[in-house]
Amino acid sequence: MRIVLVLALVVITASFLTRPAPVRKAAPVETEARAVVARLGGRIEELLVLPGQSVTEGQVIARVRVEDAGHTNERLREAMERLSRLPDSAWKQAEQSDPKRVAADREYVARLREWERERTPADEARLAAASARREAEYRKPSPFTKQAFLAWRDNVGRYELTAAMDGRVEILDWKAGDRLPAMARVALIAK
């Protein structure tokens, strides 16, 4: 009798163990994701996001400094160094030769001459518009100043990596100071 009972218990247990698991159908999940890739090799100077953080398209994710692997030219560095030593009078002359400011000055002078010849309301309106454009150009910082040049020089060999779309940072296995090979995937942004 015990043998029959044990045999029945083995058969029942075996039937439960060999029974196929219920099939669960999962709905396909569609996610859009885009990689942020470092086009040039270099060193990560700054990481501005963390995994799981939400980002917007165009937001800066990291700043990278390109390491000298043939990307920078010794002659360019020498030329930039010579330019940085120019006297202030040369920089003032360069600022005055800013093409946008020169064009605004020429337009203003032409409209002033027209207004002096005829003094019509239309000439007066054109002179006022030219004057406003000229003032606007002089309010803008000129790219031809020593300060603008030094800021540009200090950023040569640096670039920023930005989010390709709105989403969340899913993968970011780097830290500041890490060396990036060219074409390395720095982050994955998923919707």
Q: Is the pLDDT of residue 135 over 90?
A: yes
Percentage above 70 pLDDT, the chain:
81
- What values do phi and psi take at 98, rounded to 5? -55, 120
Query: In a 3-state reduction of DSSP, which class is residue 86?
Result: coil
pLDDT in tens, 67-122: 765 545 677 778 888 888 889 898 888 888 889 999 999 999 999 999 999 999 99
**Contact yes or no for 61/75 (Cβ under 8 A):** no
Indicate if the pLDDT at residue 11 is higher than 90.
no
CB 36 within 8 A of CB 189: yes
For 151, counting Cβ atoms within 10 Å of its Cβ (0-12 exposed, 13-18 middle, 19+ buried), the class is exposed
> Reduced to 3 states, what is the DSSP secondary structure of residue 52?
coil
Classify residue 172 by its DSSP letter: -
Q: Which residue segments constitute the domains of the chain, with CATH numbers given?
A: 30-72+157-191 (2.40.50.100), 73-155 (no CATH)
Q: Please, which residues bridge with residue 127 across strands?
A: none
HSE, CB side, 13 Å, CA atoms: give it for residue 148.
Answer: 11
Q: Per-residue confidence at 21, pLDDT binned at 50, 70, 90?
A: very low
Report the predicted TM-score, pTM, of the whole model to 2 decimal places: 0.51
- Distance of alpha carbon 26 from alpha carbon 8, whole angstroms: 37
Contacts of 33 (CB under 8 A, 6+ apart): 167, 170, 188, 189, 190, 191
Using alpha carbons, list the distances in angstroms from residue 128 to 101, 123, 147.
Answer: 16, 9, 31
pLDDT of residue 109: 95
